[in-house]
Amino acid sequence: MVSEKVMDLVGKGLMLPLMEEFYTIQGEGYHKGTAAYFIRVGGCDVGCHWCDVKESWNAETHPPTAIERIIDNASKYSNIIVITGGEPLTWDMGPLTSGLKNKNLQIHIETSGAYPLTGKWDWICLSPKKNKLPKNKIYALANELKIIVYNKHDFIFAEEQAAQVSEDCILYLQPEWSVRDKMVPEIVDYVMKNPKWKVSLQTHKYLNIP
Ligand SMILES: C[S@@+](CC[C@H](N)C(=O)[O-])C[C@H]1O[C@@H](n2cnc3c(N)ncnc32)[C@H](O)[C@@H]1O
Ligand SMILES: Nc1nc2[nH]cc(C(=O)O)c2c(=O)[nH]1
Ligand code: SF4
Ligand SMILES: [Mg+2]
């Protein structure tokens, strides 16, 4: 049983349900290949059927953790911190990101954008999902748009989403992992015909690292 006091602190973003923290190489998108410290916050109700971290969904299975502890740990490893989940914007990211900023760290987010944007970010990777579309305000602020391609309809969805981001937002198509053999050739073909897009692969899965 989580006490009312803890629930109140979680509500204020002063504690967060922490699933895991790990130092690795950013595998995806613009910063792929760069060492980064990942903070995975539990809780997500977007419900992507192919999600590769379904264990993150139920916030109650991840211990509410004081953000000071998260910040102290993070600053030991890298000056690039990636906040992911779960869906990090389920929670108020303000206190965590200002604490990390006070340590002069670069703070990146991986988000579906399904909830209002909180926190201050150096890099926003927006990965919209059809079943819970991003809130309007995040489109203009996204630095990269990363569309997961599970079937051919996702190319249409990708274009609809690309029409809403800023001109300098970098556009990525990333194969859904379980159908990569089928979708990689489709993505390669699409990117050659539509070169405003780039390919993103989950390179950490090929490298066998977290
Ligand atoms: C697990 S999500 C967590 C952050 C946030 N909920 C989101 O979806 O952006 C991290 C990234 O992995 C991507 N992803 C999740 N499952 C995937 C899969 N099976 N294949 C390819 N990418 C996947 C998501 O689209 C997102 O860009
Ligand atoms: N190495 C590595 N890179 C990643 N980029 C985004 C990830 C995520 O799950 O948010 C991820 C991840 O889980 N591992
Ligand atoms: S939004 Fe992200 S964490 Fe949530 S189900 Fe989809 S891929 Fe998984
Ligand atoms: Mg991942």
25-50 pLDDT, tens digit per residue, is 999 999 999 999 999 999 999 999 99
Host domain of residue 105:
4-207
Looking up tokens 């967060």 gives 16
> Tokens at residue 110, please?
């991986």
Domain count of the chain?
1
137-169 pLDDT, tens digit per residue, is 999 999 999 999 999 999 999 999 999 999 999
Reported confidence tier of residue 118, pLDDT bands at 50, 70, 90: very high
As beta bridge partners, residue 172 has 146, 198
Q: What is the ipTM of this complex?
A: 0.99
The enclosing domain of 109 has a CATH number of 3.20.20.70
Instruction: Tell me: pLDDT of 1 over 90.
Output: no
> What pLDDT score was predicted for residue 143?
99
Q: How far apart are the C-alpha atoms of 141 and 144, rounded to whole Å?
A: 9
Give me the mean pLDDT over the 16-30 stretch.
98
Question: Any residues with CB less than 8 A from the CB of 189 and at least 6 apart, and which?
Answer: none
Q: How far apart are the C-alpha atoms of 21 and 39, rounded to whole Å?
A: 5
Which ligand lies nearest the alpha carbon of 130? 3
Give the pocket of ligand 1 (CB within 6 Å). 44, 50-53, 84-85, 87, 110-112, 127, 146, 148, 174, 176-177, 202
Give the pocket of ligand 2 (CB within 6 Å). 24-28, 84, 110, 204, 210
Q: By the 8 A CB rule, do 210 and 22 touch?
A: yes
